[in-house]
Amino acid sequence: MKILALHTLAFLHIHRRSLLTFYLFFTGLTLAALTPLLSGAMAALRPITGQAAISTGGLVQFMVSPGGLLWLVATATIATLLVILQQAGMTWIAASSGHREYRIAVSALWALARHFRKLSALAVLQVTGHLLVAMPFLLTVVLAYQFLLSPHDLYYLKLERPPVVWWFMGISAVAALGIAVCNGWLYLRWILSVPLVLLEGHGARLALKLSNHHVHGQRFPATGALLAGLAGLVILPILVTLGFQGIGSYLLPRLPEQMDLLMPVTLTFVALYILFTITLAFAGIAAYSMLIYSVYRQATGRHPHVSTKDLPKQAGPLAWSAEALVIVLAITQAWFVLQSFEQQDEVSITAHRGSAFKAPENTLTAIEQAITDGADYIEIDVRMTADGVPVLWHDADMRRVFGLGGKISDITLQEARERDAGSWFGARFSNERIATLEEVIATTRGRAGLYVDIKPDPDTPGLTREVIRLLEKMEAIEGTVIAAAEWSVLAEVRQLAPELKTTLLAQFIVGPLWEQSFDILGLRQNRVTPATVAQTRQSGKELHVWTVNNPAAMSRFIDMGVDNIITDRPDMLAELLERREKLTDAEVLVIKLRNWLR
């Protein structure tokens, strides 16, 4: 393993400028090619799904459908091909001789063009092989979910954690371990297939077969080197980020309180961080490719040399230009980051099912508490009883709150009122009863807006129509937002009351946002990124994030520029916003910088 490491470092040092030039050229060409390709892939969703986008409600159905599976396999193949092409180009550079960096980088691109068909076949075979190996484990997880979890409400499973959850998690953990071991073993067997195709001209099938043969005696040294390299790739970015966070937190508060000084210093600081990040990404990819080439040389005993003749001779200036481009890109991106720091910190507060951290969710007590805590909107979940009354209820069944089987639509309002809706949260709430939508409209009128999450059920097809009828009857259309995870609900709302603002609640969103008839995108917090915020803004929509209960996460989303934060703790968010208003410019800048680095 020591010899492999030394050879890897030597190749990386000798070819560093050629590798960087190729990395920039390849990345630019990839982005240019992927933009229309991704647009085409998004357009292909409509004939597959009947919709331009996929949200939480339709994600599983899409993934298990024939068209969805084909789309996912094609996406995985394209991603694998890009990885293979980048590795192949760097492998070609490692086997090249000479010192004309630009010529060597261009020769690598030309080599990819000449071997594109074989490398594409290699990507298809690798994806197919890995899918076949992983399939039994994936089917095990699907079957475990079907038999253990699907009969229960997901929110009940999340909060109560009955034994079936632990059984499912155990089965999934074993399956994940099986995928890691078996697919990792297969990956290791095929690790030399790229240099065998590129440098020896073998076909994809033969390259995979020969790779398995050559790696047989090198498996343990190669495994150790690869694991060490991967650990470095994971740890180094974390250390760099922590280092920059520490430097920024120490430096910026100690500078004079003058924005004409703070802004240039912050611009330089962010540009250096981006430059370090780009350098680390390049170094990691290049070192990994050089490692595989070193394993290839050691396993086969071959030391190939490829020709870079008959190519342009303008080496020096163009190589320097490529390196200068990295600095220009870093400064440009830093400038856009700095511009984002100047955006307003205004964000509205939505209490998730009321102040659900202090009182039983979806009750009048939780709603009153949320208003006291400073919420701008009260988010409630609405279903319908057997006698057609819209009530506040989240779960698909009554197990978690009432301790009953069946659905809320199986009993009348009177029967529901006879049951305790609060002691599951705490004994002092034992007198709490289920609330109707009519009561909530009266309670919040003039005090907070309503954020009504409609939970459709085949047994209550008139729910959406009844909710809108009640809002119109009580003159509560203005200031109310209707939310749903299903497109059909939003389409019905738009048809019945086009003046109502609507929110698509999504775990994932795929497809062009601007083609859908909704006003607000409500994303789960682990799916919100600065890119998501920018894309949503460009489409002319608001972005709301749910459910955020951690102050650090709240601060991060405020700095991203989201429009609304949905939380179980509206008091915490209100206090955070109040504290931020009292900070100095330097203190705000430090917070924004720290959140951006996260």
- Both tokens of 156, joined, read 């009940």
Cα dihedral sign for 568, 572, 577, 583? negative
Judgement on whether residues 265 and 197 belong to the same structural domain of the protein: yes
Name the 3-class secondary structure at 384: strand
The residue assigned the tokens 């073998």 is: 202
Please report the pLDDT score of residue 229 as a whole number: 65
Contact yes or no for 488/456 (Cβ under 8 A):
yes
Please report the pLDDT score of residue 585 as a whole number: 62
Query: What is the C-alpha to C-alpha distance for residues 194 and 295, in angstroms, rounded to an integer?
Result: 12
Kindly provide the residue ranges of all beta strands, DSSP E only, lying in 102-219, ordered along the sequence. Answer: none
Q: Minimal CA–CA distance to 429: which of 347, 520, 359?
A: 359
Contact yes or no for 191/292 (Cβ under 8 A):
yes
Give the domain-ending residue among 312, 340, 368: 340
Judgement on whether residues 53 and 103 belong to the same structural domain of the protein: yes
**What pTM does this model have?**
0.74
Q: Specify the number of domains making up the chain.
A: 2
Judgement on whether residues 43 and 100 belong to the same structural domain of the protein: yes
The residue assigned the tokens 């440098």 is: 199
Judgement on whether residues 334 and 357 belong to the same structural domain of the protein: no
Contact yes or no for 91/111 (Cβ under 8 A):
no
Judgement on whether residues 44 and 171 belong to the same structural domain of the protein: yes
Judgement on whether residues 295 and 355 belong to the same structural domain of the protein: no
Query: What is the C-alpha to C-alpha distance for residues 401 and 392, in angstroms, rounded to an integer?
Result: 12
Give the domain-ending residue among 340, 364, 381: 340
Please report the pLDDT score of residue 57 as a whole number: 45
Query: What is the C-alpha to C-alpha distance for residues 263 and 592, in angstroms, rounded to an integer?
Result: 12
Judgement on whether residues 418 and 280 belong to the same structural domain of the protein: no
CB atoms within 10 A of CB 556: 21
Give the domain-ending residue among 305, 322, 340: 340
At 395, which amino acid appears?
Answer: D
At 165, which amino acid appears?
Answer: V
- Both tokens of 228, joined, read 């060490």
Query: What is the C-alpha to C-alpha distance for residues 295 and 400, in angstroms, rounded to an integer?
Result: 57
Contact yes or no for 137/178 (Cβ under 8 A):
yes
Judgement on whether residues 314 and 240 belong to the same structural domain of the protein: yes
Q: Compute φ and ψ for 512, nearest 5 degrees.
A: -70, 120
CATH code where residue 591 lies:
3.20.20.190
Judgement on whether residues 213 and 354 belong to the same structural domain of the protein: no
Q: Minimal CA–CA distance to 295: which of 207, 235, 197, 224?
A: 224
- Both tokens of 89, joined, read 């180009």
Q: Minimal CA–CA distance to 206: which of 276, 311, 122?
A: 122
Query: What is the C-alpha to C-alpha distance for residues 334 and 330, in angstroms, rounded to an integer?
Result: 6
Query: What is the C-alpha to C-alpha distance for residues 62 and 349, in angstroms, rounded to an integer?
Result: 33
Residue 382 bridge partners (DSSP): 392, 454
Buried b (16+ CB within 10 A) or exposed e, 192-220: bbbbbbbbeebebeebbbbbbebbeebee
- Both tokens of 11, joined, read 């190749």
Judgement on whether residues 200 and 288 belong to the same structural domain of the protein: yes
Judgement on whether residues 295 and 428 belong to the same structural domain of the protein: no
Query: What is the C-alpha to C-alpha distance for residues 324 and 330, in angstroms, rounded to an integer?
Result: 10
Q: Minimal CA–CA distance to 547: which of 531, 529, 569, 563?
A: 569
Judgement on whether residues 371 and 287 belong to the same structural domain of the protein: no
Query: What is the C-alpha to C-alpha distance for residues 351 and 377, in angstroms, rounded to an integer?
Result: 6
Query: What is the C-alpha to C-alpha distance for residues 204 and 387, in angstroms, rounded to an integer?
Result: 65
* 59: enclosing H helix or E strand: helix 56-64
Contact yes or no for 572/551 (Cβ under 8 A):
yes
What is the residue range of 355's domain?
Answer: 348-597
pLDDT tens by residue, the chain, 598 residues: 667 677 777 777 788 878 888 887 787 777 666 655 655 555 555 545 444 445 544 555 566 666 667 777 888 898 899 999 999 999 998 888 755 566 787 788 888 888 999 999 999 999 999 999 999 998 999 899 888 887 877 777 777 788 999 999 999 999 999 999 999 889 888 989 999 999 998 999 999 999 988 877 655 566 666 666 667 767 777 777 778 777 777 776 666 655 566 667 766 777 777 777 777 888 888 888 888 888 888 888 887 776 655 444 454 455 556 556 656 665 666 566 555 555 556 899 999 999 999 999 999 999 999 999 999 999 999 999 999 999 999 988 898 899 888 899 999 999 999 999 999 998 999 999 999 999 999 999 999 999 999 998 888 999 999 999 999 999 999 999 999 988 789 989 999 999 999 998 887 665 555 556 789 999 988 888 887 887 888 788 899 999 999 998 998 898 888 999 999 999 999 999 988 887 766 666 666 666 665 5
In DSSP notation, 197-232 reads HHHH---HHHHHHHHHHHHGGGHHHHHHHHHHHHHH
Q: Cα dist. 53→36, 56, 101, 302, 529 in Å?
A: 17, 10, 44, 50, 18
What's the chain's length in residues?
Answer: 598
